[in-house]
């Protein structure tokens, strides 16, 4: 540096501090890391003391400029300063220009201080020219997962970029210069093993590209372990940790470095394996090894360390060439080979011996050898036993790990005589002359070989009477005793010899009062207990027999010591729900005695069938049910009782609804007394259908059901009561009604049964007797027997009278004419036939002085009374209802009359119904001019409306012929109909 001081001529001028222009010594680039390296001299020797200097570095690229500040100290001597800068895009993508200037910060300088001039511009070597051919940068770059990467495409002038893809995705273009464009990819993911392709398509037709590898830096090696297998090499193994996603030449490289010997080994590993291995040689005089395992790849590095004593890290190889041999029934010889030099240590080998029933290990310690065979002997094997052997080894003094097991080898030892005699039992025939001897086959572990036969002998006082050779598979034989008891001996034979004899006596001691007890099912066996007998000296024998279908019964037994009082009998032949019978024998000094019988089940099940039951008797309120015992083979357990369900139900009703819990109709009876075979069900309803369901049950559950339907008989007492009660009620009601009717008889008679007036006894002729007394002009009609004759009747109004729906007209009215010859249609005289009833009472002749026409009464021909012959056209209009004179009891419509001028109304019809008086009292006017008492009356028919004119003998009830005539149209009804046949008083 040098001082440049400018002195101004005016008074305001002052000195200025301006450093000299710095010179760049070197500008270099690392294209793989996108880094520029700058070197220059600070020229600090021009100053005598330290000064603070500031530097400004400008970098021009992408047609933009970036300025960086850098501070340093001037120490009074020349120093070379270094500075580097990393770009965010590949250095190949564009030209880079660098210049620098300086500023001195002198605190004691009071003048003005300024920046120096910029140094000459330096460029990145050989990159300040346009490309010769199209290329994409960076080339085969390796970056960390999650990085942001910029890719540029260089091309010649005259061309342009159509698009750029990262993988399968297209990105927007960034223009860097006139011959380069770029794309920027954010947060890149791990690439596939072959990397991710970047393509640049140029116009017109050109395609360039590159590959990007994205992965992770190596993880710290995990679970580093080093051990020796042969004392020739040390094998170190480790887990690489997280996969780096980088392969082939970019994959992680491992170097195993031993610090004590300063020796290192490059490890060759497969990146795809989960476990990596590396071998290091064992040095003759070195026991301690300090290993450092380094891992590195283009993105980073890691390491892990381990210190070991090789004698304590022995892990032998798997024993090889393993052989097994024997020449005995109880031992075997083993041999195997282990590679390696183990002269300095002892080995511990473990031999595994296994057969179908057991497995055990035998440890054997032996001296080490170099690449040698090792041998061992195994004793205490079982004769004629098949075994499987295998071996593994380790260091004896410092146990580290067992080697892997060798392959297994099988061996069968030689045979030996059977270890013991077979279990035997005997059974005397009912006659007692034949004894059947049974024995059980020996177990394979007891037979010590293949049993070929059994020898059965009979001894009497140590003298053999008989001997039998019974080949297998027979397990019984018969001996003829001939009435003598003997001692039975049975031995088993194989190729190696005979077993010790098993002996039993044929003597059976007498037994009295042998009881049968029940055993308890345990689910997998039968629990049996008994009372201890002090006389039993040689144990107890429990015998049973199992029958399987059509095959004969198979005898089985089990023996117990003299102090035993219970046992659980198990057998593979036992089946659930099958009853088994046991016999307990006690062995005494002079023979066997039957102590008790036991019956039981291995497991109790519900009964197989339902009990067979019937209804023996029924009544109106009870049912007697009887059932039979279930066969033993169908019980499948000990019966505990029966359950009887009964309820009202018809045949075909649902069984589910019948058995529904909580049903108010359902009744359940539990019968626990097994001696009962019948039950009477009481309190039932008569003539009702009941459903009965009977089931048996055991400890194992309730068996199937059988149901019956029964209808109870009709309740006769109830029926009688049901009949008597209504009858009694009817009688009581009748008596009460009769009493009431008797008390109210007058009212009832007047209301419902009024008397029909008798003209002869009518009081109408008796009231106001003074009217007729002394008046010769007023007479009542006197009825005397006579022969029919013609009577001339003078009628001034109508020749027709309405009587019970019949037109009344004389049959001779049309044929006979009055004496004066007048026309009947205009006159009022009618000639009818009259025949008064014959009576015994003699009627006095009328007074002579009485005029003939003074009393004019209408008489009707009795025979033609109900056969009207009238011409309706000649009939004058008459009000039949109000006509004076006699009225019938029923005023019914006249069917045979054609009344054109008068139609009866509903009110008129109502007036015709019911009882009517025989005389119209409304026209009884005693003082009227028409009345009989009126002397001045000129009315010739005045007697018709008088009370004295109703003493008539006219028929009120029609004859039989009329009853059969058609019914009148009038629907009116009256109580009088019920009394029409009542005789006159």
Cα 905 versus chain centre, distance: 83
Contact by Cβ (8 Å): 350, 402: yes
β-pairing, 174-177 vs 300-309, is unpaired
692-709 tens-digit pLDDT: 999 999 999 999 988 888
Q: Report whether the peptide linkage leading into residue 138 is cis, meaning its omega lies within 30 degrees of zero.
A: yes
**What is the Cα–Cα distance from 26 to 35, expressed in whole angstroms?**
14
Contact by Cβ (8 Å): 822, 792: no
User: Quick check: 947 pLDDT over 80?
Assistant: no
**What is the Cα–Cα distance from 620 to 649, expressed in whole angstroms?**
16
DSSP tally for the chain: helices H, then strands E: 8, 61
Q: List Cβ neighbours of 525 (8 Å cut-off, separation of 6 or more).
A: 568, 569, 570, 571, 574, 602
Q: Where are the beta strands (DSSP E) in 496-578?
A: 497-498, 502-505, 508-509, 516-518, 520-521, 526-529, 540-546, 554-560, 566-569
**How high is the pLDDT of residue 755?**
73
Contact by Cβ (8 Å): 783, 836: yes
643-668 tens-digit pLDDT: 999 888 877 666 655 565 556 678 89
**What is the Cα–Cα distance from 227 to 222, expressed in whole angstroms?**
16
109-135 tens-digit pLDDT: 778 888 889 999 888 865 556 667 788
**How high is the pLDDT of residue 13?**
62
Helical axes 716-743 vs 745-752, angle rounded to 10°: 80
**What is the Cα–Cα distance from 539 to 592, expressed in whole angstroms?**
10
Tokens representing 719? 């029926």
Task: Assign 49 a pLDDT band (cuts: 50, 70, 90).
Answer: confident
Q: Nearest 5°: phi and psi at 431?
A: -75, -35
**How high is the pLDDT of residue 687?**
84
**How high is the pLDDT of residue 438?**
95
> How far is residue 560 from each of residues 504, 536, 564, 648, measured CA to CA in Å?
15, 11, 6, 58
**How high is the pLDDT of residue 62?**
64
**How high is the pLDDT of residue 788?**
58
Tokens representing 231? 């004392």
> How far is residue 163 from each of residues 212, 213, 406, 654, measured CA to CA in Å?
18, 21, 65, 84
Q: Count the Cβ atoms, other than its own, within 10 Å of residue 490.
A: 24
The better pLDDT of the pair 796, 61 is held by 61
**What is the Cα–Cα distance from 25 to 81, expressed in whole angstroms?**
10
Closest CA to 325 of 376, 289, 366, 278: 376
**What is the Cα–Cα distance from 784 to 816, expressed in whole angstroms?**
25
Residue range 479-485: average pLDDT?
83
**How high is the pLDDT of residue 861?**
45
Q: State the DSSP string of 746-757.
A: HHHHHHHSPPPP
412-449 tens-digit pLDDT: 999 999 999 999 999 988 887 889 999 999 998 899 99
Task: Assign 784 a pLDDT band (cuts: 50, 70, 90).
Answer: low
Paired strand residues for 289: 308
Full-model pTM: 0.52
Task: Assign 537 a pLDDT band (cuts: 50, 70, 90).
Answer: very high
* Percent of the chain residues past pLDDT 70, beyond the cut: 72
User: Quick check: 195 pLDDT over 90?
Assistant: yes
**What is the Cα–Cα distance from 912 to 973, expressed in whole angstroms?**
10
User: Quick check: 905 pLDDT over 60?
Assistant: no
DSSP state of 873: G
Q: State the DSSP string of 351-409.
A: EEEE-SS-EEEEEEEEE--EEEEEEEEE--PPTT-EEEEEEEEEESSS---PPPPPPPE
**How high is the pLDDT of residue 271?**
81
Task: Assign 973 a pLDDT band (cuts: 50, 70, 90).
Answer: very low
For the chain, helix, strand, coil in percent to 5 are: 10, 40, 50
393-417 tens-digit pLDDT: 999 999 999 999 999 999 999 999 9
Residue range 852-875: average pLDDT?
42
Tokens representing 327? 């020449």
Contact by Cβ (8 Å): 296, 252: yes
Residue range 664-676: average pLDDT?
87
Tokens 């033993």 — which residue? 632
Q: Count the Cβ atoms, other than its own, within 10 Å of residue 18.
A: 20
**What is the Cα–Cα distance from 605 to 663, expressed in whole angstroms?**
28
**How high is the pLDDT of residue 291?**
97
Classify residue 203 as exposed, middle or buried by CB count within 10 Å of its CB (0-12, 13-18, 19+): exposed
Contact by Cβ (8 Å): 645, 697: no
**How high is the pLDDT of residue 816?**
40
- Please give the angle made by the CA atoms of 137, 142 and 148, to the nearest 5 degrees: 70
The sign of the CA dihedral 568, 570, 575, 576 is: positive
**How high is the pLDDT of residue 948?**
42
Diameter of the chain measured on Cα atoms: 212
User: Quick check: 8 pLDDT over 70?
Assistant: no
Paired strand residues for 234: 228, 280
**How high is the pLDDT of residue 494?**
95
**How high is the pLDDT of residue 16?**
82
Paired strand residues for 936: none
What's the mean pLDDT when you consider all of the chain? 78
Cα 90 versus chain centre, distance: 70
Q: State the DSSP string of 333-363.
A: EEEEEEEEE-TTSEEEEEEEEE-SS-EEEEE
Residue range 580-594: average pLDDT?
93
Residue range 228-235: average pLDDT?
94
Of 63-77, 352-366, 494-508, 640-654, give the lowest mean pLDDT range. 63-77
**How high is the pLDDT of residue 560?**
95
Of 25-29, 398-402, 582-586, give the lowest mean pLDDT range. 25-29
């Amino acid at each position: 540096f040098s001082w440049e001081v400018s002195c101004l001529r005016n008074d305001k001028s002052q000195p200025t501090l301006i450093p000299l222009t710095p010179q760049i010594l070197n500008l270099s680039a690392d294209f793989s890391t996108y880094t520029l390296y700058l070197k220059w001299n600070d020229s600090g020797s021009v100053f005598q003391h330290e000064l603070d200097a500031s530097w400004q570095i400008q970098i021009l690229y992408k047609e933009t400029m970036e300025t960086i500040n850098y501070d340093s100290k001037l120490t009074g001597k020349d120093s070379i300063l270094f500075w580097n800068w990393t770009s965010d895009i590949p250095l190949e993508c564009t030209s880079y220009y660098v210049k620098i200037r300086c500023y001195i910060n002198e605190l004691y300088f009071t003048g003005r201080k300024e920046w120096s001039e910029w140094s000459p511009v330096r460029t990145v070597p050989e990159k300040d020219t346009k490309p010769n051919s199209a290329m994409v940068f960076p080339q085969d770059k390796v970056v960390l997962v999650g990085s942001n990467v910029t890719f540029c495409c260089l091309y010649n002038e005259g061309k342009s970029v159509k698009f750029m893809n990262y993988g399968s995705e297209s990105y927007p273009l960034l223009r860097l210069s006139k011959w380069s464009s770029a794309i920027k990819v954010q947060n890149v993911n791990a690439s596939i093993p072959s990397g991710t392709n970047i393509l640049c398509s140029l116009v017109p037709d050109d395609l360039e590209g590159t590959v990007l590898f994205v992965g992770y830096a190596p993880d710290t090696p995990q679970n580093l372990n080093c051990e020796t297998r042969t004392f020739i090499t040390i094998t170190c193994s480790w887990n690489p940790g997280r996969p780096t996603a980088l392969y082939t030449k970019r994959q992680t490289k491992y170097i195993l470095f031993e610090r004590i010997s300063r020796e290192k080994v490059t490890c060759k590993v497969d990146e795809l394996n989960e476990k990596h291995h590396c071998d290091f040689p064992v040095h003759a005089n070195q026991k301690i090894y300090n290993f450092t395992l380094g891992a590195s790849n283009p993105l980073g590095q890691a390491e892990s360390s381990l210190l070991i004593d090789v004698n304590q890290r022995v892990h032998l190889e798997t024993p090889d060439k393993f052989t097994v041999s024997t020449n005995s029934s109880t031992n075997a010889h083993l041999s195997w080979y282990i590679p390696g030099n183990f002269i300095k240590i002892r080995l511990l080998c473990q031999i595994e011996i296994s057969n179908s029933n057991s497995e055990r290990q035998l440890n054997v310690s032996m001296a080490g050898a170099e690449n040698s065979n090792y041998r061992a002997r195994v004793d205490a094997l079982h004769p004629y036993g098949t075994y499987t052997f295998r071996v593994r080894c380790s260091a004896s003094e410092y146990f580290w790990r067992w080697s892997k097991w060798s392959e297994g080898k099988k061996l069968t030892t030689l045979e030996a005589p059977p270890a013991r005699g077979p279990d035997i039992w005997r059974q005397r025939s009912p006659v007692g002359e034949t004894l059947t001897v049974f024995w059980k086959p020996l177990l394979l572990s007891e037979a010590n070989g293949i049993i070929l036969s059994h020898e059965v002998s009979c001894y009497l006082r140590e003298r053999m009477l008989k001997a039998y050779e019974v080949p297998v598979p027979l397990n019984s034989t018969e001996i003829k005793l001939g009435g003598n008891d003997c001692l039975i001996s049975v031995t088993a034979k194989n190729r190696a010899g005979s077993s010790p004899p098993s002996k039993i006596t044929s003597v059976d001691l007498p037994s009295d009062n042998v009881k049968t007890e029940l055993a308890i099912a345990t689910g997998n066996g039968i629990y049996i207990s008994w009372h201890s007998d002090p006389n039993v000296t040689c144990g107890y024998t429990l015998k049973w027999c199992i029958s399987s279908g059509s095959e004969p019964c198979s005898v089985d037994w089990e023996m117990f010591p003299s102090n035993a009082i219970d046992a659980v009998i198990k057998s593979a032949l036992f089946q659930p729900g099958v009853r088994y019978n046991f016999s307990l024998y006690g062995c005494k000094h002079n023979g066997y005695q039957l102590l008790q019988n036991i019956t039981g089940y291995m497991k109790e099940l519900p009964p197989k069938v339902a009990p067979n039951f019937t209804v023996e008797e029924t009544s109106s309120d009870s049912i007697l049910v009887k059932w039979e015992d279930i066969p033993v083979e169908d019980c499948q357990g000990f019966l505990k009782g029966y359950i009887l369900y009964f309820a009202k139900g018809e045949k075909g009703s649902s069984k589910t609804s019948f058995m529904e819990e909580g049903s108010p109709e359902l009744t359940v009876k539990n019968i626990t007394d097994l001696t009962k075979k019948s039950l009477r069900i009481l309190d039932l309803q008569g003539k009702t259908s009941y459903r009965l369901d009977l089931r048996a049950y055991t400890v194992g559950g309730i068996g199937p059901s059988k149901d019956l339907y029964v209808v109870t008989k009709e309740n006769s007492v109830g029926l009688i009561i049901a009949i008597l009660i209504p009858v009694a009620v009817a009688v009581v009601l009748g008596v009460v009604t009769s009493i009431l009717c008797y008390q109210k008889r007058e009212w009832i008679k007047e209301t419902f049964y009024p008397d029909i007036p008798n003209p002869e006894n009518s009081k109408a002729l008796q009231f106001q007797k003074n009217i007729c007394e002394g008046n010769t002009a007023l007479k009542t009609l006197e009825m005397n027997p006579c022969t029919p004759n013609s009577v001339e009747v003078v009628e001034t109004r109508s020749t027709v009278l309405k009587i019970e729906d019949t037109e009344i007209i004389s049959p001779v009215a049309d044929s006979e004419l009055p004496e004066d010859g007048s026309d009947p249609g205009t006159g009022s005289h009618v000639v009818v036939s009259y025949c008064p009833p014959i009576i015994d009472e003699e009627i006095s002749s009328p007074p002579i002085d009485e005029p003939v026409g003074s009393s004019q009464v209408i008489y009707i021909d009795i025979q033609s009374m109900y056969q009207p012959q009238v011409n309706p056209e000649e009939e004058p209009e008459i009000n039949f209802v109000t006509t004076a004179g006699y009225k019938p009891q029923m005023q019914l419509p006249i069917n045979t009359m054609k009344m054109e001028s008068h139609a009866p109304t509903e009110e008129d019809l109502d007036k015709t119904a019911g009882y009517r008086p025989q005389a119209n009292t409304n026209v009884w006017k005693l003082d009227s001019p028409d009345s009989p008492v009126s002397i001045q009356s000129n009315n010739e028919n005045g007697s018709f409306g008088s009370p004295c004119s109703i003493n008539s003998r006219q028929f009120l009830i029609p004859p039989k012929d009329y009853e059969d005539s058609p019914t009148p149209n009038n629907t009116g009804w009256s109580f009088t109909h019920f009394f029409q046949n009542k005789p006159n008083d």
